[in-house]
Structure 1
Amino acid sequence: MIQPKTTRMSNVELWQQWKEHRDIEAKKQLIEYYLPLVEYVSNRMAIGLPKNVSKDDLTSNGVMGLIDAIEKFDHRRGLQFETYASWRIRGAMIDGLRQGDWVPRSVREKAKKIEEAYAHLEQQLLRSVTDAEVSAYLNVSEREFQQMLQEIAVTTVCSLEDPIREEESETRLSMLVDEKAKNPDYKVQEHFLKETLIKGIERLTEKERIVISLFYYEELSLSEIAEVMSLSPSRISQLHSKAILRLRGALDKQKKQLLEN
């Protein structure tokens, strides 16, 4: 995926020098070594974002995320730094986007309404719901519903980074980070999170599952997925949005159940 630049010392030596001896030169080399991660993440984040979002701003925020990751990463635990750093970089980019108020409130409200519609209807019907059923629930035409999906496409890029609870900073993805010591509550939440995601993915349509698989597991861009599936990029964007909103609805439902128990 990423081919980091070569350095004078090995990767292990750099981590040892920085973490154990606070060698600033080793830290600088680690930053340079992993800079391609920032470019990689920013390229993926840029997909579907409005034209007014600067790629340079994404990159700058991503570099800050990389530095934060290098500061906090514990190399002795044998974890994959690239995975840890990627989430830190994404988080920094998303924080920058939020500070810039890049998504109008009206668009976020539409996304929330569709998310709630999926959660309510699928809980009631115990199956994947159609566009017609969601449109009827929202009291809009199917054409208007498709337009709404197009408008909110940018909000689904970072949906899994949203806080689990509005008043807290912990995100859904943070629950997937390996910790040295996990308490029983954490393990229970992690178990239910995985079960909820599995069930949520099972309820997606075949095309939605393919889009999620190609985007998040095969790491293809939306335009590349469009070529693979012989669909337009806008259609792929809609499928991605619907899939994410379905999963968000399932996660929110699980969150409420956990809070009640």
Structure 2
Amino acid sequence: MDLARHSDLTEKEESQILLAYVPLVKRIVKQLAFQASTILDIHDIEQIALIGLLEAIRRYGKPDERFGGYAKLRIRGAILDELRNKDWRPRGLRQKTHRINDAVRALSRKLGREPFADEITQSLGLGMEEYQQYLLLESAKNMQSLDELLTLGTEADALISQGPEDQLINTDSMKHALATLEKREQIILALYYQHDLSLKEIALTLDLTEARICQINKIITEKIKFFYRNEH
């Protein structure tokens, strides 16, 4: 993580901005607690998030109306990077990951739809807890992929220097991408990105299991990836 200063902000100004955006940090930590709290202490998650915010401030400079969105990407990215870098999966699950992925694809072809959690666990003889751990890892990967896709395939830093014309093209392109999603999938994205709900809160809101929300997030990611592959 690059914490070198790329702006003219003083330490005092940085501290003031950090304090002003602490509520945003707390919202994102709460949002990602479902994925991260199984392997990271909540205090550690908050520290990682604050470092992500500090990096955002030093790269961006004085906040304007676009800084909040940029900071969200940086903070979420810092937490998800740490989660992905931790080899937290039980050894048996690490060995089964590819088999689970293959089984999910095979079941999808057989059923003509994305299989439900109980169908996957029955097919593989997995316990629900073990499958839940697998989903946590997949969820972390998918949420980071979604963050990258929703910045239209660019690095978050590119948002700083995009001109109005690029922003207009990107916004129009994303609208077309989101239009390919089903209504429920669009609602999940809105609850996550606009209302900062956690996966657990989204599951409660939509009367679905957390495992099902993880599955749908994976579907959303694949649909948006497919759109951009075919658009370009």
| TM superposition score category, shorter chain reference | 0.5 to 0.7
**In structure 1, how many angstroms separate the alpha carbons of the residues matched to 2:171 and 2:99?**
29
Give the one of 137, 141, 144 matched to 1:161: 144
| Aligned partners of 2:34 and 2:199 also within 8 Å | yes
**In structure 1, how many angstroms separate the alpha carbons of the residues matched to 2:212 and 2:121?**
21
Q: Compared with structure 1, are the counterparts of its residues 257 and 146 closer, same or farther at alpha carbon in structure 2 (3 Å cutoff)? A: farther
Counterpart residue type for residue 67 of structure 2: F
Match of 1:95 in 2: 81
- How many equivalent pairs are there? 218
Q: Which has the larger radius of gyration?
A: 1
Deviation at 1:144, TM superposition (A): 5.8
**Greater relative contact order (Cα < 8 A, sep 6+):** 2
Counterpart residue type for residue 22 of structure 2: L
Give the one of 157, 165, 176 matched to 1:195: 176
Counterpart residue type for residue 79 of structure 2: M
Counterpart residue type for residue 33 of structure 2: A
Q: Compared with structure 1, are the counterparts of its residues 253 and 227 closer, same or farther at alpha carbon in structure 2 (3 Å cutoff)? A: closer
Q: Compared with structure 1, are the counterparts of its residues 172 and 112 closer, same or farther at alpha carbon in structure 2 (3 Å cutoff)? A: farther
Q: Compared with structure 1, are the counterparts of its residues 226 and 88 closer, same or farther at alpha carbon in structure 2 (3 Å cutoff)? A: closer
Q: Establish whether residue 65 from structure 1 lines up as the match of residue 52 from structure 2.
A: yes
Q: TM-score scaled to structure 2, two decimals?
A: 0.68
Extract unaligned runs of 5+ from structure 2: 1-5
**In structure 1, how many angstroms separate the alpha carbons of the residues matched to 2:61 and 2:141?**
26
* Deviation digits for residues 56-107 of structure 1 (CA, Å, limit 9, x no counterpart): 221121111111110111447x433222211111111112222222346457
| Aligned partners of 1:38 and 1:89 also within 8 Å | yes
Q: Compared with structure 1, are the counterparts of its residues 153 and 73 closer, same or farther at alpha carbon in structure 2 (3 Å cutoff)? A: same
Match of 1:8 in 2: none
Extract unaligned runs of 5+ from structure 1: 1-17, 164-169
Match of 1:244 in 2: 217
1:146-225 alignment, distance < 5 Å = 150-154=132-136, 155-162=138-145, 171-175=148-152, 178=159, 180-181=161-162, 191-199=172-180, 201-202=181-182, 206=184, 211-225=188-202
Q: Compared with structure 1, are the counterparts of its residues 249 and 150 closer, same or farther at alpha carbon in structure 2 (3 Å cutoff)? A: same
CA RMSD after TM alignment:
4.4
| Aligned partners of 1:69 and 1:88 also within 8 Å | yes
Match of 1:129 in 2: 113
| Aligned partners of 1:160 and 1:173 also within 8 Å | no
